[in-house]
Structure 1
Amino acid sequence: MKRDSITILILLFFGLTVHAQAGKNPVPLKLDRATADLTLKQGEEVSFSFLLKKDVYYSITVEQKGIDVTIGLKDQRGKTLQEVDSPNGRFGSEKIVFSPDSTANFILTVKPLADTANAKAGNYSVIVQSPPKKLKPLQYKALEQDFNILKNAFIETHVGLWYNTYTQFDSLCQVQKRKLKNKMTALDFYKLVAPIVTYTKEGHSAIQPSEETTNYIRQNGRYFPFLVKIFDKKVYILNDLDNYKTRGMQISKINGTSIESIMEQFLRIEPADGYNTTSKYHWIETAFSKYYLRFFEQQPATFNLELIHPKTNEKISYSHIPALNFKQYGKFVSKETKAIPNYSYKESAQLKIDTLNSIATLVVNTFSTSDYTNGRKGFKEFLAKSFQNIADYKIQHLIIDIRKNEGGEQGMEDHLMSYLVDREYQKYQYAEIPSFTYSFLDYTEYRDKKSAEDFEKELRGEFYRSNDGRYIELPGKYKGDTPQVNRFKGDVYILISGLSFSGGSEFAALAKNYTKARFIGEETGGGYYGNTSGYFIRYTLPNSKLTGRIPIIKFVVEKKETGIPFGRGIMPDDEVQPKIEEFLSGYDTEMEFVKKLIKNK
């Protein structure tokens, strides 16, 4: 039975102690003061109220301490504005970032995730944070501790030691460590360690600024008001802005800094598999304004641009272009991306059949099970129906488009492969983890003893320690699907790009090894020889509060004699890339190239 809430507010040191009970009356919260640990049981729902001011960006965090919760933000009328349940499980943070359009009271709801695997009861804490007015300086010893924790975690997990020797990796770390200075901010520290994460040459590795930095930037940062696209290492603008005719123009300088210098910096901090760069350029495109703010100017009032017309090489200059705040930038991106053809995908997968030319085009934009109705089962049903239609129409040519497929869940690529092969195949030479236990878990989502034990148990369920001391996957753990009866027997063409990553790139590698498919586009972002992914250890450094993740399963693909250099992705048989005017018009250069190949066959 639900009871009315009883609220007792007692300020103790830096914390706010709140005794919250499930009920209809919200518990009032003061901003920037964390509650003590509160208890929540299955079937309960607790709500909190607080006043938020117009156009201020607040960070609302519920720290899970033994129970998996769902949180929601509502306005005074009870309308749900946001609802969040991240895949953190029973430990870690659930976060909402919100900036109201008017000053008002808002309600936060906290309730247990309705799942039989969830705990019957557990603790949590709540804090609603205002953005900081400035970034606080950190002491050298604190920065040094964070640096050492990160470096040692990479070495312990062997991340960075597939493409580098220990001496090479340690040498870069020493160079960066000498740059540490007393009273650096967390943003300064992020800039210093980001190149180390990139140097691991593992595209699944990541590091992000602290929450303090992110909150500060949301409130105070000013953004470059343009979307960009990169072709052949040249950076082009995708939109006009008010009276500035910039669409399709090539960038030469931003506020006096050459685009070459800007891109050199961005390439140093964008991780990728091995020696690949195609993925870097694609990811930099979407993060361009964010990266410029982090690494060059946090609060520019305006931008001065020097541009080049791509056809005439005419130099064009614009001055005093207003910068955008975070809210303006979000609205700008939402509007402009809708106006650009094929900027992002709308459907997870689709099939088109051209009976006149006997061509089927199968687009698979993701292997994420959450993007398909009924998850993995739904994806397999889509494939079964698609290939049945292909068989019914006696299609001779199959185009598979994975240019936007950045991966997803393990094994999804095998479901697609099962329609292209006539026999079972060996997927990996091996899959390996560094260990079952790790010394730095106190700074991760597994800092709690129970969660650390569960993580170790999960790893032991998939790997074993072999006679040579390595931790190898159990026999049969990562195995391809049985070939389908109605497999496709005609010509196969696969469109690839730098965004073909992780499982998407792995599918391309398998198709390269076990089919006669022809590849068109650009080098895949994911490595041909494998990647490190699967399980991730997500960390938070104790002083700077930088966050990130370390992948720990090293998947080594069963390779054939392909001539692909180590550390590179799957190379296209036909390298095809659109010109900027083709991209802006919506003309699909790679797809039309394939159709001409088929027509002239």
Structure 2
Amino acid sequence: MPGKLNAVLVALCLLGSAPAPAQTASAEPVYSAAAMQQDFRFMRAEIDRIHPEPGLFTSREALRKAYDQVEAQLRQPLTRDQAWRALATLNPVFADGHMSVVFPDLQALTRAHLAAGGLLFPYEVEVSADGEIAIRSDIDGSASALAGMRIEQINGMPAARVARELLARAQGDTPALRAHVLSRHMWFEYWHMFGAPRQFDLVVAKPAGPAHLRVAGSGKIPAVLDTEGPSGFKKIFQFALLPGNAALLTINHFLWPDQQAYNAFIRDAFAKIRDAKVSTLIIDVRQNPGGDDGMWKELLSYLADKPFRNGSSYVKKVIAGRASGSEKVGDVVHGFGDTWCEPGLNNPLHYSGKTYVLVGRMTYSSAVLFSNVVQDFGFAQLVGAGGYARTRQTGGVQNIILPNTGLQMVIPRFVLDRPSGERDPALVHPDILLPDSPFDRMVTVDALLEHLRRTREPSA
């Protein structure tokens, strides 16, 4: 099962003792060049231990050159932020959302920073792959009068340069996906790249011309982190009836600590679908970065009309704890998945109407497996602006803590092909291509309903 991005799945017992970091006057740890080199050697050894083919989505030569460039930056004492700035330049080279150097537990670090009186960049933004930054909302998700406006400068630095520096350290399969990953929490990367000032001097592009603004840093909990408890559940899982016997089921994550609460939500949604005689069901996973395969399989039990599986051929690295009589630790094993799931055809809430799955932006990991399955087995048509993620997904993510800096290396141990076995197109490809606005999620929903209305009308 591909794990959610940056989830802590495995704790590593470190081998040997780490050199004690020196301290600056501000008490920010500074790690010696020897400590940095030790972390780097450890990271490379762990990649070779876990990943079945480290250069899979780039090339071994490109990876070697990137390693050399990073190693040259680690020959001096560095703080943890400085170490991340160097090591994270590998992330775009890996070109895999499941393989990256990141800070462990983004949520805990952010909450501790705010609790200590720290502030953050005050807006949620949309970053494009070509370096534009536009404001979506205030950092807590509340409406902003600046929504939709493009930022031209941040604290005297051109916004394009800010974006370029951060995108050079973002993880993801493609430049477009890396831009979307960065967009989810640019405030975090900005903090660790440029610091966390008390105020921000901005230049934004207004219709009347550039406007200079001075805004305070924010001490609010970012919207992307405010997803716990009943209010968090309602942000992640939503259901609404739409005009024309249609319904919209939004699932922003295939992960929730209480599986029974999720199951009850899905059951209740399909009861409403039955009672309202819904004939068009739209499932929105555009903001879904993955999670637990069992959650989308639960959803498919209400939709599938034939047995299905989540993939076909695979390649995996056998690691400690995963060995068997025929598979030794260190082996690279090629195989073919033969585990099938049965549909819930006897379920009185089973739905047999038309189904459309909205994909794009942050559809990743288990959400990509879900989209592969519904497309390959004909359970639904995919709808969206185009593919950002590969259909061939890595998984079995291992989270390894570097012994000195405490940064986290995320490494997958297998690669899974889609159920059909096809590798072309390489990226998730919608059956129905429609525009997708980062500022209004209903744009695509409305466009789909209009598209369906037009295609159902008799031609003149």
- Distance, in Å, in 1 between the alignment partners of 2:224 and 2:418 is 41
Against the structure 1 CA distance between its residues 474 and 495, is the aligned structure 2 distance closer, same or farther, given a 3 Å change threshold? closer
Pair 1:532 & 2:369 matched? no
* Residues 186 and 561 (structure 1), Cα distance of their counterparts in 2 relative to 1, 3 Å cut: closer
Deviation at 1:507, TM superposition (A): 0.8
Rounded to whole Å, the distance in 2 between the matches of 1:506 and 1:541 is: 30
CA separation in 1, counterparts of 2:343 and 2:226?
40
2:4 corresponds to which residue? Answer: none
When normalised by structure 2's length, the TM-score is 0.78
Deviation at 1:140, TM superposition (A): 1.9
TM-score (norm 1): 0.61
Q: Which residue of 258, 268, 273 corresponds with 2:158?
A: 258
Shift in alpha-carbon separation, 1:230–1:505, aligned structure 2, 3 A: same
Q: Using the TM superposition, give the Cα deviation of residue 589 of structure 1 relative to its aligned residue in structure 2, in angstroms.
A: 0.8
Equivalents in 2 of 1:515, 1:522: separation in Å? 20
Q: After the TM superposition, which residues 389-468 of structure 1 pair with which residues of structure 2 at under 5 Å, given as runs? A: 389-391=272-274, 393-437=276-320, 456=321, 459-460=322-323, 465=327
Partner residue in 1 for 2:219:
329
> Which residue does the alignment assign to 1:471?
333
* Change over 3 Å in CA distance of 1:479–1:162 after alignment to 2: farther
Give the count of matched residue pairs: 425
The letter of the residue matching 1:330 is K
Superposition map of 1:94-493 within 5 A = 133-158=26-51, 160-209=54-103, 222-230=119-127, 234-239=132-137, 246-272=146-172, 274-275=173-174, 277-278=176-177, 280-296=178-194, 298-309=195-206, 312=207, 314-318=209-213, 320-322=214-216, 324=217, 328-330=218-220, 333=222, 346-354=234-242, 357-372=244-259, 374=260, 379=263, 382-384=265-267, 386-387=269-270, 389-391=272-274, 393-437=276-320, 456=321, 459-460=322-323, 465=327, 470-471=332-333, 476=338, 478-482=339-343, 484-485=345-346, 487-493=350-356
Preserved contact between residue 125 and residue 135 of structure 2 (Cα < 8 Å): yes
| CA shift for structure 1 position 163 | 0.7
Tell which deviates more after alignment, 392-401 or 217-226. 217-226
Unaligned runs of 5+ in 1: 1-85, 94-129, 438-455
Deviations 1:277-306 (A, max 9, x none): 23x33332232122122112x253532212
Larger proportion of strand: 1
Aligned-residue CA RMSD in angstroms?
4.0
Q: Secondary structure at the match of 1:178?
A: helix
**What SS is found at the alignment partner of 1:519?**
strand
Match of 2:3 in 1: none
Alpha-carbon distance in structure 2 between the residues aligned to 1:321 and 1:382: 40
Take 1:210 and 1:386, find their aligned partners in 2: how far apart are those partners? 35
Residue identity over aligned pairs, in percent, reads 17
Whether the 8 Å contact between 2:306 and 2:343 is mirrored in structure 1 is: yes
Q: CA deviation at 1:89?
A: 9.0
Which one of 421, 429, 437 corresponds to residue 578 of structure 1?
A: 437
Structure 2 gap segments, 5+ residues each: 1-6, 15-22
Structure 1: which amino acid aligns with 2:210?
K
In structure 2, what is the Cα distance between the partners aligned to 1:291 and 1:247? 21
| Amino acid in structure 2 at the alignment position of 1:170 | R
Alpha-carbon distance, 1:542 to partner: 2.0
Q: Secondary structure at the match of 1:506?
A: helix
Deviations 1:232-288 (A, max 9, x none): 8532224579xx96443210111222221111122221111x33523x333322321
Judged with a 3 Å threshold, the aligned counterparts in structure 2 of structure 1 residues 167 and 232 are, in CA distance, closer, same or farther, namely closer
Structure 1 pair 427–288 and aligned structure 2 pair: CA distance change class (3 A):
closer
What is the deviation of 1:172?
1.0
- For CA contacts below 8 A with separation 6 or more, give which structure has more relative contact order: 2
